[in-house]
Amino acid sequence: MKRHASSLLIIVSLTASQQAYSMTCAELFESTAQKARNTVARVTGRPELRVKAAKRFVPELMAAQFQAEMTSLLLKRYPELKWLTGAVDATPEGRVASTKDKSPSEAFFGEKHIEFDRSVTGIFLLKWILTGNYEAFTAPQKGAAKMTKENFAHLKQYTESILSSPESVDAMITYMVINDLGKIRSIVSEVQSRTGLRDVDHDNILLVALERHPEISPSFQRLPRHTQQIMVRGLQASFNIGQFLQGENVPASLTGLKGLDKESLDFYLLHAIADIGGAAGHVTSNGSIVMSNPTYEGFKSGVRAIEGLNRGRTEVEVYNDFLADKGRPFGLQIENPKDRVITRLVAMLRASDAETVNQIREVFDSLPKNVQAILLKEMNLNGVNDGFATLLYYSPATLANLIGALKEARPDSHFKDGLAMGLTTLAEVYQHGRIMLKGREGDGVFTVLISAVAEAAKSPEKLDNSRIDLKPVENDAEAVLLERTPINSANFPRIDSLSQIPGKKVGVIGIGGGSDGVQAAQLSLLLKNSGKDIPFVISVRTAKTESQGAGNRSGEARTIENHGGEIAEGVFRVLPESQGSGRFLENIPASEVNMFLVIDTLDGKLAQKIQAVIKHVGGSDTVIGVDTGGDALFSMSGSQGINKSKSTPDQDLRVLSSLSELKGVSVMSGIIATGVDTPLNAEAVLQSARASYYELSRNETDTVLERYHAWDMTGNNDRRFGKTPLTWQLALTGQRGLQVIGLPTRVVTDSTNPWNPFMRVDDSMAGIFFMNLEGHIEAISK
């Protein structure tokens, strides 16, 4: 099929100061259309012209003495470099000590363009390797970290064994120039529109672009077909050596390398050396900060391990070979799950001394149990015969950025504090990913792009004030930060005393299953202390269990034993000695309240069952439907759709609807610990529902906490737990910000229904919102 250079119109936004050396892709193709048709065809069809051009350019580049001269030559030869000065999703790499020297882009264009600086610095490094300029290559390196002359000689020999001609050098520079085209937003957009591809990995975007639209890159298109295929085969492996060396990827990431020919692998690995070496090119282009002696030793170790694939070793064995080599100097045994995690962190943080490794271990040991449990599970999965292993893309940058961000404010503790924050953040993202993977069968790599998290980590307060969510991208995901505005209780009318709740006889109903019945009982006892009569507390449960009991099972038939009688079909009086299937909690408050279990069989008779309880106890003036956490504030729309987590749960809706059918009683709804699971617009929904806020007194707070302690629901009992009661206790005791609640580890790491233990606690969570049921339903119907 004939391809025309002008067929792909991609707009790259550039500033006016860049116009002399900058064009949009469309302008480039348009202005050189005839030349492209003639020259590209002529060069492609006549290899001697291509060889002649490379033989002329490469010596000229090697002879250039100054960076400005080299930059000018590169821009003339490789037009794609200019595109990196446009709208680019730059790597969110951490803070490195700045220098007084201008970066290449600052010197050439008058402003900094990070990916441009990294790319050209990598090319500078390649030149210094080929010309044997050890002093230039190692200029910014100091002390023991400085690359030895022996290793530099090894690197030069390795490079020359792969790049044996000017044409191969030209091809390698082309590879380095086009490496980041997948980060250019306009190219990403164009590839998406033409192919439908959505991917979190810019290398995959580049691969598709080169395979289907090679005209996207004039430099790539003029290469010999064989050289093009070498590059494409390297990209098809879907392997990132940088991620491997940093312990960022997983064993299943190696699968694509199996069967890859040596020529393609060598070409890819050499490109990676220069790419990694130039990673701090935006900080200094006078040598490589990153490709130090420890980094190069790690690279050699990684290559040795990868070569094991050709000797029949499995992906897991190769991955472990590299980790074992990395951990051995520090006495880390990767057969031990914790040591394996520590070793990966050593790689991510580029730790090279025993003191730093000990600090990493100390930080890990100090983390909350559930953070440790998540990291131990997720960072030991292989993605090979053990399900999907999650790759958090830019996890090293997230850790480095948090550590760097705290350096000035906490000079003595920034490493430990930043690392603790970083590991907690990574564990939270891991858990979001594991929840998203529920029900997915098979093995492999599940990539979560966390560049937004890594960028926010440069300002920890921004991370604190955001909610992390994942959005699906084909079979992978991307982390997004949602601005989190805590509900301001000062914006609502106040209820001064629970005695203001209308009616003398007040029945309370937990509407959402789980621990809602327990919180309903807590509210009923507070109402009782205010002078109300409490004829009943009801816990509404579905006919099938939906959360894990002591046996870690869900989906069982709802049963109850040793009950106090079935007063109507599916309506049971609960006694302290009653037992039931699933996470049965209704017996906990049964010694203090008149407790009932109502089983919702989805037959439209729920209102009748609730009415049966009211009749059984002799009537009630008011009924309060209690939701805990606030998921009953999500919009009704979509509750039957795919994304049920973003709508009011079906059970809550059924109960609210059934409450609206009750006769002869006033009906209200109340929300305890609002914010545990609420929409971002929760405050607006509450205002629309005309809600009022009740703040517990000091005595009431103490009473609630003492009762949880008496009920053994403080996080120590593996059989008595709930996300909302644990969060409410944190709020009532003054804990604020990101908290890791003490859920049983077995439900956090459960393979079929993992719970999320991360919670951001705000002031308003300590109180209770009340509203008329009619206003509540009206507000979530909009």
Cα 665 to Cα 657: distance, rounded to the nearest angstrom: 15
> Is residue 593 a contact partner of residue 525, using CB atoms and an 8 Å limit?
yes
Torsion angles phi and psi, residue 362, rounded to 5: -60, -40
- pLDDT of residue 548 exceeding 90, the answer is no
Q: Among 133-142, 254-263, 453-462, 639-648, whose mean pLDDT is lowest? A: 639-648
Residue that has been written with the tokens 């930060």 in this structure: 481
**Token pair belonging to 233:** 């085969």
Q: Could you tell me whether strands 595-600 and 571-573 are parallel, antiparallel, or unpaired per DSSP bridges? A: antiparallel
Q: pLDDT at position 358, please?
A: 97
Q: pLDDT at position 36, please?
A: 39
Q: Is residue 749 part of a domain?
A: no
| Residue 709 per-residue DSSP state | H
> Is residue 757 a contact partner of residue 434, using CB atoms and an 8 Å limit?
no
Q: Is residue 490 part of a domain?
A: no
Whole-structure pTM value: 0.85
Ramachandran assignment for 247, one of left (phi > 0), alpha (psi -120 to 50 degrees), beta (any other): left
Cα 587 to Cα 591: distance, rounded to the nearest angstrom: 8
What burial letters (b/e) apply to 317-356, b meaning 16+ CB within 10 Å? ebbbbbbbbbbeebebebeeebbbbbbbbbbbbbbbeeee
Q: Is residue 269 part of a domain?
A: yes
Cβ neighbours around 637 below 10 Å, total: 13
**Secondary structure (DSSP) of 483-525:** E-----GGGSPBP--GGGSS-SBEEEEE-SSTTHHHHHHHHHH
Question: Which structural domain range is residue 424 located in?
Answer: 310-483
Which among 601, 593, 617 has a CA at the least distance from the CA of 658?
Answer: 601
Cα 55 to Cα 170: distance, rounded to the nearest angstrom: 9
- pLDDT of residue 27 exceeding 60, the answer is no
Please report, as a single letter, which amino acid is at residue 265: L
Question: Residue 10: which pLDDT band, with cuts at 50, 70 and 90?
Answer: very low
Let me know whether 628 and 695 are in one domain. yes
Q: pLDDT at position 647, please?
A: 52
- pLDDT of residue 760 exceeding 80, the answer is yes
User: What mean pLDDT comes out for the span 649-660?
Assistant: 90
Let me know whether 279 and 324 are in one domain. no
Q: Is residue 771 part of a domain?
A: yes
- pLDDT of residue 395 exceeding 90, the answer is yes
Let me know whether 52 and 190 are in one domain. yes
- pLDDT of residue 552 exceeding 70, the answer is no
Q: Is residue 427 part of a domain?
A: yes
- pLDDT of residue 454 exceeding 50, the answer is yes
Question: Residue 85: which pLDDT band, with cuts at 50, 70 and 90?
Answer: confident
The residue with greater pLDDT, 553 or 542, is 542
Q: What's the mean pLDDT when you consider all of the chain?
A: 88
Angle, CA of 642, 646 and 652, to the nearest 5°: 95
Per-residue model confidence as pLDDT tens digits over 484-511: 889 999 999 999 999 999 999 999 999 9
Write the CB contacts of 697 (distance below 8 Å, at least 6 apart in sequence): none
Boundary of a domain, candidates 453, 483, 513: 483
Which among 432, 370, 363 has a CA at the least distance from the CA of 715?
Answer: 370
Residue that has been written with the tokens 């008779």 in this structure: 605
Per-residue model confidence as pLDDT tens digits over 356-366: 999 999 999 99
Boundary of a domain, candidates 448, 483, 518: 483
CA distances from 206 to 231, 263, 268, 607, 648 (A): 11, 20, 14, 58, 41
- pLDDT of residue 571 exceeding 70, the answer is yes
Domain total of the chain = 3
Cα 583 to Cα 588: distance, rounded to the nearest angstrom: 12
Collapse the DSSP code of 782 into the 3-class scheme (helix H, G, I; strand E, B; otherwise coil) and give the result: coil
Which among 179, 224, 191, 193 has a CA at the least distance from the CA of 80?
Answer: 179
Per-residue model confidence as pLDDT tens digits over 286-295: 999 999 999 9
Let me know whether 437 and 540 are in one domain. no
Per-residue model confidence as pLDDT tens digits over 89-108: 666 765 444 556 788 988 88
Q: Is residue 719 part of a domain?
A: no
**Token pair belonging to 256:** 């694509």
Bridge partners of residue 693, in order along the sequence = 494, 769
Q: Among 217-221, 333-337, 402-406, 477-481, whose mean pLDDT is lowest? A: 217-221
User: What mean pLDDT comes out for the span 387-415?
Assistant: 95
Tell how many helices (H) and how many strands (E) occur in the chain. 34, 17
Q: Is residue 492 part of a domain?
A: no
Boundary of a domain, candidates 483, 515, 533: 483
Q: pLDDT at position 340, please?
A: 98
Q: Is residue 302 part of a domain?
A: no
Q: pLDDT at position 199, please?
A: 65
Question: Residue 398: which pLDDT band, with cuts at 50, 70 and 90?
Answer: very high
Q: pLDDT at position 48, please?
A: 56
User: What mean pLDDT comes out for the span 393-408?
Assistant: 95
> Is residue 686 a contact partner of residue 497, using CB atoms and an 8 Å limit?
no
Let me know whether 65 and 192 are in one domain. yes
Cα 322 to Cα 247: distance, rounded to the nearest angstrom: 9
User: For the chain, what is the largest distance between any 2 Cα atoms, rounded to a whole number of angstroms?
Assistant: 100
Let me know whether 115 and 209 are in one domain. yes
Cα 67 to Cα 289: distance, rounded to the nearest angstrom: 17
Let me know whether 451 and 534 are in one domain. no
Q: pLDDT at position 89, please?
A: 66
Cα 382 to Cα 379: distance, rounded to the nearest angstrom: 8
User: What mean pLDDT comes out for the span 635-652?
Assistant: 58
Q: Among 152-156, 212-216, 321-325, whose mean pLDDT is lowest? A: 212-216
**Token pair belonging to 429:** 């993202």
| Residue 696 per-residue DSSP state | P
Q: pLDDT at position 514, please?
A: 82
Of all residues in the chain, what percent carry a pLDDT higher than 70? 87
- pLDDT of residue 606 exceeding 70, the answer is yes
Let me know whether 513 and 474 are in one domain. no
Cβ neighbours around 1 below 10 Å, total: 2
- pLDDT of residue 137 exceeding 90, the answer is yes
Let me know whether 559 and 620 are in one domain. yes
Let me know whether 69 and 165 are in one domain. yes
Q: pLDDT at position 509, please?
A: 97
Q: pLDDT at position 213, please?
A: 80
**Token pair belonging to 86:** 């446009």
Q: pLDDT at position 216, please?
A: 81
CA distances from 582 to 226, 339, 354, 610, 652 (A): 62, 36, 48, 22, 19
Cβ neighbours around 775 below 10 Å, total: 16
Write the CB contacts of 201 (distance below 8 Å, at least 6 apart in sequence): 182, 238, 393, 447, 449, 476
Alpha-carbon torsion 485, 486, 488, 492, what sign?
Answer: positive
Let me know whether 271 and 387 are in one domain. no
| Residue 349 per-residue DSSP state | T
Per-residue model confidence as pLDDT tens digits over 733-753: 999 999 999 999 999 999 899
Collapse the DSSP code of 445 into the 3-class scheme (helix H, G, I; strand E, B; otherwise coil) and give the result: strand
E-state strands within 646-767: 666-672, 692-694, 737-740, 758-761
**Token pair belonging to 520:** 């309903």
Cα 489 to Cα 414: distance, rounded to the nearest angstrom: 34
The residue with greater pLDDT, 259 or 648, is 259
User: What mean pLDDT comes out for the span 263-278?
Assistant: 92
Cα 459 to Cα 447: distance, rounded to the nearest angstrom: 24
> Is residue 636 a contact partner of residue 653, using CB atoms and an 8 Å limit?
yes
User: What mean pLDDT comes out for the span 143-152?
Assistant: 95
Question: Residue 1: which pLDDT band, with cuts at 50, 70 and 90?
Answer: very low
> What helix, strand, coil percent values describe the chain, rounded to 5?
50, 10, 35
CA distances from 505 to 496, 606, 623 (A): 19, 21, 9
Q: Among 99-103, 371-375, 771-775, whose mean pLDDT is lowest? A: 99-103
Q: pLDDT at position 50, please?
A: 56
Q: pLDDT at position 655, please?
A: 93
Question: Residue 782: which pLDDT band, with cuts at 50, 70 and 90?
Answer: confident
Let me know whether 451 and 524 are in one domain. no
> Is residue 86 a contact partner of residue 23, using CB atoms and an 8 Å limit?
no
User: What mean pLDDT comes out for the span 721-744?
Assistant: 95
Torsion angles phi and psi, residue 491, rounded to 5: -85, 10
